[in-house]
Amino acid sequence: MSTASRAEVCAVACAEAYRDNGEVIASAFGTIPAIGVRLARHTFSPDLMISDGEATAVRGTWAVGGPADGDAEAWLPFNQIFNLVWNGKRHIMMIPTQLDIYGNCNISAIGDHARPKVQLLGVRGAPGNTVYHPTSYWVPKHSTRVFVPKVDMVSGVGTDNARKAGPAATRYHELRTVVTDLAVLDFTPDTGRLRLVSVHPGVTVDDVVAATGFELVIGSDVPHTRMPTAAELELIRTVIDPRTLRDKEVQG
Amino acid sequence: MSLEDAVSQLRSGMTIGLGGWGSRRKPMAFVRALLRSDVTDLTVVTYGGPDLGLLCSAGKVRKAYYGFVSLDSAPFYDPWFAKARTGAELVSREMDEGMVKTGLQAAAARLPFQPTRAGLGSDVLGFWDGELQTVASPYPDAQGRTETLIAMPALNLDAAFVHLDIGDKHGNAGYTGVDPYFDDLYCLAAERRYVSVDRLVETEELVKAVPQQSIILNRMMVDGVVESPGGSHFTLSGSQGRDEKFQRHYVEAAKDPETWAAFKARYLDVSEAEYQSAVAEFAAEQAK
């Protein structure tokens, strides 16, 4: 077994975000988070519910980039997804276009809202997701373009804005994990600021600092992100991503 | 009734809801009929896709209420909606996806608003120029704190347009795919309700063709039924997949005025029957 690639380390870090989640919908955007949730369910988080990306919850473990070939276990049309979002039975991993020091996330547009320079998708479900259930983020390319001091518009609610909006916003607000191609981060409970948890093997703390457009909370001794086990690598390479789509998202 | 009959009952300045979701089971034949009409200055409520894009291409949208606008496959961003936004050609009432459902539910239940958490702490409040307010719960929580929530206003519609797979002439109609989306709510939220169907059948055939649970519209929820085979093209419906090649063709054509003029002449400045023939020709060309 050759050593793990950076993409494989990232996939396992995404899987770790879903450890001990219990029985919730694991919604994951991007190839590497999709590998992560399947890996988590196949190994240490068997109770996760995973959709085929359309309207059906599917059992089993299938390859990314193709149709779900497991057995259907439930119906999850969009209407029901909103009910489950509001009920809190979900942990989503979204891809922010911008993410700031307090975890505010922008996926809506770049520039001024009334007349944006670039129109993206709009806020989508980000405002609701962040105030109703656990939310994590996946950043395929950690850079100062993504990690900005202040986002152009708040789609996903950060810790500072949740607190400002009061108990109705903070009650179920829980930003969990930010996985990037360089590191794993989370949020300090007291200040709500983004904190470096670990750097991936081959990455230094200085690399992360240089690629981040604001000051991170950094402890005195930052560990390395754990390496995938041999069994995890086997599963990723032969079952979950045999076509190595993960290398298109993260190289090295 | 015909597509033209339905659209002739609209007036400029109305608020219309468009069913479906992104590039999924959109009432595209109705949208094309709207493009052929002189109805304009519309306020549109939608889970947006190429329906909103096409209306923007003709400058018919004054204001849009939406949770997102997506083509659901690459390049994802609708080119005409993006042009309208970056050119500040429309007033945007962007909101969380769940807020659209909440606003339609409020209208369906004839309530002025429904509370929701979604939107709190985000910039959505700022996008609405004061049109969106909060409401304090009269019931304190267990710790004695007051929860202040978004008071999502009812999204009352002058008219709703939806497309379903099969229906009868009275307005009973069902879907055959995996998801009803929110078409029932759009109809309940609207004054005038129009449904196009791929197949118009007798009631007896409808109730045999789909499970009862799939008949999401009954005749109390519909004012006009139009038989429009392929009426959701190029978005998907239960009976056919998305025409990905044609959707990409639409996106490419939007890139410059000349290619758009050609696209418009071939597919939009024509009747629905001519559109469907032109689409079949395009598919044949692509298959060569």
Q: Over the stretch B6-48, which tens digit does the pLDDT of each residue have?
A: 999 999 999 999 999 999 999 999 999 999 999 999 999 999 9
CA nearest to B184 within chain A: A79
CB of A1 within 8 Å of a chain B CB? The answer is no
Backbone angles phi, psi at A220, to 5 degrees: -75, -25
Of residues B25 and B240, more confidently modeled: B25
Residue A16 in domain: yes
Q: What is the CA radius of gyration of chain B?
A: 19
Residues forming a β-bridge with A185: A178, A196
Q: Is the pLDDT of residue B115 over 80?
A: yes
pLDDT of residue A252: 81
For residues A137 and A92, is the Cβ–Cβ distance under 8 A?
Answer: no
pLDDT of residue A195: 98
For residues A101 and B117, is the Cβ–Cβ distance under 8 A?
Answer: no
Residue A186 in domain: yes
**Three-class SS state of B101:** helix
For residues A86 and A123, is the Cβ–Cβ distance under 8 A?
Answer: no
Number of domains in chain A: 1
CB of B4 within 8 Å of a chain A CB? The answer is no
Q: What is the distance between the alpha carbons of residues B283 and B22, in angstroms, rounded to a whole number?
A: 22
CA nearest to A169 within chain B: B120
Of B21, B98, B127, the CB nearest to A86: B98
Q: What is the CA radius of gyration of chain A?
A: 18
Q: What is the distance between the alpha carbons of residues B154 and B106, in angstroms, rounded to a whole number?
A: 5
Minimal CA–CA distance to B152: which of B91, B92, B111? B111
Residue A243 in domain: yes
Q: How confident is the model at residue B288 (pLDDT cuts 50, 70, 90)?
A: confident
Minimal CA–CA distance to A54: which of B25, B94, B245? B25
Give the residue numbers spanning the domain of A42: 6-249
Q: Which two tokens stand for residue A113?
A: 């809202």
Q: Is the pLDDT of residue B239 over 90?
A: no
For residues B207 and B173, is the Cβ–Cβ distance under 8 A?
Answer: no
Q: What is the distance between the alpha carbons of residues A127 and A105, in angstroms, rounded to a whole number?
A: 9
What is the CATH classification number for the domain harbouring A144? 3.40.1080.10
User: Which residue's structure tokens are 């029932």?
Assistant: B184
Q: What is the distance between the alpha carbons of residues A176 and B194, in angstroms, rounded to a whole number?
A: 45
pLDDT of residue B261: 98
Interchain contact, B120 vs A165, CB within 8 Å:
yes
To the nearest whole number, what is the mean pLDDT of chain B?
Answer: 97
pLDDT of residue A1: 52
Percent of chain B with pLDDT over 70: 100
Residue A14 in domain: yes
- Note the ipTM here: 0.96
Q: What is the distance between the alpha carbons of residues A57 and A76, in angstroms, rounded to a whole number?
A: 6
Which DSSP letter does residue B77 get?
Answer: S
CB of A167 within 8 Å of a chain B CB? The answer is yes
Q: Over the stretch B119-163, which tens digit does the pLDDT of each residue have?
A: 999 999 999 999 999 999 999 999 999 999 999 999 999 999 999
Contact residues on chain A for B124, CB-CB shorter than 8 A? 123, 127
- Which residue of B65, B122, B214 to mutate against A (max A Cβ within 10 Å)? B122
pLDDT of residue B216: 98
pLDDT of residue A190: 95
Parts of chain A with a pLDDT under 50: none
User: Which residue's structure tokens are 């999204």?
Assistant: B155
Minimal CA–CA distance to B105: which of B142, B153, B143, B164? B153
Q: Which two tokens stand for residue B180?
A: 């009803």
Residue A1 in domain: no
Domains of chain B in start order, with CATH, are 3-95+155-268 (3.40.1080.10), 113-153 (no CATH)
Q: Which amino acid is at A202?
A: G
Which DSSP letter does residue B212 get?
Answer: G
**Three-class SS state of A210:** helix
- Which residues 79-98 of chain A have a CB within 8 Å of chain B? 79, 82, 85-86
| A69: enclosing H helix or E strand | none
pLDDT of residue B83: 97
User: Which residue's structure tokens are 């057995």?
Assistant: A71
